[in-house]
Amino acid sequence: MFSRAEKTPLAEWWWSIDRELLGALILLLTAGMVLSFAASPPVAERIGLGQWHFVIRHAMFCLLALPVMLVTSLLNHRQARFAALGTLIVMTVLLWATLRFGAEVKGARRWISFAGQSIQPSEFVKPAFAVIGAWLMAEYMIHRDVPGRILATLVMGLIVGGLLLQPDIGQSALVVATWAVLLFLSGISWWIIVGLGGAAGALLVGAYLFFPHVARRIDTFLNPDGGGNTYQIDRALQSLLEGGWLGRGPGESIAKKLIPDAHADYVFSAAAGEYGILFCLALVGLIAFIVLRAMVSAQRQTSLFARLAASTIAIQLAMQSGINLAVNLNLIPPKGMTLPFVSYGGTSMLAVAFGMGLMLALTRTKPEERMATGLPSYRSAVVAPAE
């Protein structure tokens, strides 16, 4: 495609990008488009929209997401950090602005509108915080007089404070988990880890006591026969079971036609009914490959910042995917968390594309690094400073 002798930006990008990781991400995006054809039409018809309404919009979001990911992947480490910083500042301001100017939906204010288009700032905050948090942690590890951990904790608190006021418990938990991952990768004692685990348990109890909708979901999960609304998860499990190993075939699933969010949070269950458990296992395997490949590529970086940031984004992708899959399998109480690149949702799609673009940018190799071996680990004292 490009000669190694070329010095153009595109040629440099092509020979430094992790092409296997890029190909896997494009394949996941394509899988989401295919599943949109299977899951979206019944939902659109049920709410009185055109049969292909969500399919067309999903395709539009995919066409926007791909260039967002590719353009972001062209950035060098310094540019990626500044892009994340700008995004974090703007989206955190919008996150707090939703409390006053956002539309209230089901008792929560999570969306804010511009020129007729709605955006959920929390989706963009997640990858941006992963990068900036990694930068602050890396600076602390290299220069102990820099209060990187304290600053990262303050930023996390500012974000989570806005999310809890919306309220959005799921996104709050994911941001806190991202911060915990950064702490772990930057090197903390096991006593602190145990303390954080205890704090997480206390926060869960607090969410149960002070947020009625959280209490209802947990109560219904623990006691499904107690009168709570289990319609959606029941239909999702029915779809998982009826598909068997190979599925009923495109358009043949009965249960997926009854799942209200078959195109969004429960697209995995809809996929099982249409294409079977083997297809779903392949989809999970693809996500696992992306996460592990990104972690391996991150370890090849000489920059501590790049290693921390790329690894944290990859783990964040794994956590979000894991939450979505666990909800579909009825392993945890229901939570509105999309399956990255697969579920319907414009803001989620573009935010994931931005995050994956940052991950690709931060795992690009420099010519002198391509033959490097024995690179230092996260906790090593021998680290390269952030660019």
Looking at residue 376, its pLDDT comes to 46
Mean pLDDT of the chain: 88
238-262: per-residue pLDDT in tens? Answer: 988 888 898 888 877 777 788 888 8
Looking at residue 106, its pLDDT comes to 73
Does the pLDDT at position 369 exceed 60? no
> Band of the pLDDT at 66, cuts 50, 70, 90?
very high
> Band of the pLDDT at 372, cuts 50, 70, 90?
very low
Does the pLDDT at position 189 exceed 70? yes
> In whole angstroms, what is the distance from residue 79 CA to residue 119 CA?
24
53-64: per-residue pLDDT in tens? Answer: 999 999 999 999
Looking at residue 371, its pLDDT comes to 41
> Band of the pLDDT at 84, cuts 50, 70, 90?
very high
Average pLDDT of span 96-103:
90
Average pLDDT of span 203-210:
87
Q: Of the given ranges (12-16, 102-106, 264-268, 359-363), which has the lowest mean pLDDT?
A: 102-106
> Band of the pLDDT at 381, cuts 50, 70, 90?
very low
> Band of the pLDDT at 1, cuts 50, 70, 90?
low
Looking at residue 187, its pLDDT comes to 84
Counting residues of the chain whose pLDDT is more than 70, the rounded percentage is 93
Residues paired with 284 in a beta bridge:
none
Higher pLDDT, 379 or 165: 165
Among candidate residues 132, 134, 125, the one with its CA nearest the CA of residue 348: 125
Does the pLDDT at position 352 exceed 90? yes
148-157: per-residue pLDDT in tens? Answer: 999 999 999 9
Indicate if the alpha-carbon torsion angle 306, 28, 65, 341 is positive or negative. Answer: negative
309-339: per-residue pLDDT in tens? Answer: 999 999 999 999 999 999 999 999 988 789 9
Does the pLDDT at position 85 exceed 90? yes
Among candidate residues 249, 304, 301, the one with its CA nearest the CA of residue 273: 249
> Band of the pLDDT at 4, cuts 50, 70, 90?
low
> Band of the pLDDT at 343, cuts 50, 70, 90?
very high
Among candidate residues 285, 314, 387, 339, the one with its CA nearest the CA of residue 18: 314
pTM over 0.85: yes
Indicate if the alpha-carbon torsion angle 179, 184, 185, 189 is positive or negative. Answer: positive
Backbone angles phi, psi at 113, to 5 degrees: -110, 145
Q: How far is CA 82 from CA 66, 79, 87, in A?
A: 21, 5, 8
> In whole angstroms, what is the distance from residue 281 CA to residue 245 CA?
10
Looking at residue 41, its pLDDT comes to 87
